Amino acid sequence: MEFPFDFIAIVRKVNRAAALTGAGVSQESGLRTFRDAQTGLWAQYKPEELASPEAFARDPKLIWDWYAWRREGVKAVRPNLGHYALVEMAHRIPDFTLITQNVDGLHRLAGSPQVIELHGNIQRVRCAECGAIVEDWDDDNAAVPRCASCGGLLRPHVVWFGEPLPRAELESAMEAARNCQIFFSIGTSGVVQPAATLAYAAHNRGAVVVEINTEQTPLTAKADFFFQGKSGEILPELVKAVWNSETINGEQ
Ligand code: OAD
């Protein structure tokens, strides 16, 4: 990928940057994006129909099982070069805020120093009644496990459609978007609010908006730079072009 000279010059001298990532960043690790068709057992459902409080109220076991299946999938995968390139960017840019909609924890696993997880983390579970965070539960049961203290059903500690985002995380993400000089939107369809507004908040405050995606999105027309392709390829190329540095896969 040839990056425009003015883009490289901007990234080299920038002090404050923010990046928002979505499911596309984990696609090359082997995880499906949300808006891909599902396969196998789950092919008959749309993720949007499973990731909601209404769905859980209607059929808690179905939703629990979908998350248990996804949790296993996440445990089996590793970060890819896109995740590692973002670690490198955080080391190169003095103030770099990484915001993710992903619940897979792969940015932390790759070693990103600070990650704002807007939609929670799939490995965590809480009681749907009393809200207690639960560390241990029995997944072999035929029924959804229950909270040891109040007996409520357990659910994933993630944000579902129609639920508010964690307040502190959303405020920090908004502040980073408003204060950054450059905003990267990477591997996200940009259709789920309020995460999707972050790029516009940055744009409205004069930040340079950069999009990396295999497809065009509603943001593309507003982006100052659009790099079409896989984030696991483009991000390491960007790191090399800007800082003449190789992305190190932390596991090697
Ligand atoms: P989506 O599945 O909506 O979008 C994934 C985006 O990644 C698409 O725009 C793809 O074109 C792009 N893409 C796919 N592979 C890529 C690759 N290798 N490199 C770069 N881009 C690639 O996922 P999100 O935008 O993350 O929310 O979805 C946002 C939210 O909607 C999710 O966090 C989840 C979901 O429903 C909740 O569950 C609350």
Q: Is the pLDDT of residue 69 over 80?
A: yes
* Same domain, yes or no: 131 and 108: no
pLDDT of residue 141: 72
Looking at 158, 182, 205, which one is the last position of a domain?
A: 158
Expressed as residue numbers, the domain containing 69 is 35-76+126-158
For residue 39, pLDDT beyond 80:
no
Percent of residues, the chain, with pLDDT higher than 90: 83
Asked if residue 153 and residue 141 are part of one domain, the reply reads yes
Note the pLDDT of residue 251: 66
Q: Do 215 and 234 fall into the same domain?
A: yes
Burial of 79 (0-12, 13-18, 19+ CB in 10 A): buried
How far apart are the CA of 87 and the centre of ligand 1, in A? 20
* Helix (H), strand (E) at residue 22: none
Residue 84 forms part of a structural domain:
yes
DSSP string, 35-98: TSPP-GGGTTS-HHHHSSHHHHHH-HHHHHHHHHHHHHHHHT----HHHHHHHHHHHHSSEEEE
Clarify whether residues 72 and 181 are in a common domain: no
134 and 216 in a single domain? The answer is no
Residues 192 and 216 in one domain: yes
Judge if 225 and 143 occupy the same domain. no
Residues 55 and 154 both lie in one domain: yes
Do 83 and 101 lie in a common domain? yes
DSSP state string for 141-190: SSS--B-TTT-PBEEEEEPPTTSPPPHHHHHHHHHHHHH-SEEEEES---
- Which pair of structure tokens corresponds to residue 25? 């960043």
Helices and strands in the chain, H and E counts = 10, 9
Residue 222 pLDDT > 70: yes
CATH number, domain of 98, equals: 3.40.50.1220
Q: Is residue 63 in a domain? A: yes
Residue 250 within any structural domain of the chain: no
Q: Which protein residue has the closest C-alpha to ligand 1 atom 6?
A: 188
Global pTM reads 0.94
Residue type, 78: R
Collapse the DSSP code of 227 into the 3-class scheme (helix H, G, I; strand E, B; otherwise coil) and give the result. strand
43 falls within a domain: yes
Sequence-distant (6+) residues with CB within 8 A of 201 are 174, 177, 178
Ligand 1 centroid, distance to 35 Cα (angstroms): 7
Query: Is pLDDT at 215 greater than 60 in this prediction?
Result: yes
pLDDT tens across 96-151, in order? Answer: 999 999 999 999 999 999 899 999 999 999 999 999 999 888 877 789 999 999 99
**Pair 146, 169 in one domain:** no
CATH code for position 72 = 3.30.1600.10
* pLDDT the model gives residue 173: 98
Are residues 22 and 86 part of one domain? yes
Per-residue pLDDT, 41: 67
From residue 69, give the alpha-carbon distance in Å to each of 32, 42, 104, 111: 12, 10, 13, 25
> Do 23 and 131 share a structural domain?
no
Residues lining ligand 1, CB < 6 A?
Answer: 22-24, 27-28, 33-35, 47-48, 51, 101, 119, 159-161, 187-189, 192, 213-215, 217, 230-232
> Is 17 part of any domain?
yes
Average pLDDT for 195-199: 96
Per the prediction, the chain carries an average pLDDT of 94
Domain total in the chain: 2
Pocket test for ligand 1, best of 189, 197, 228 (most atoms within 8 A of CB): 189
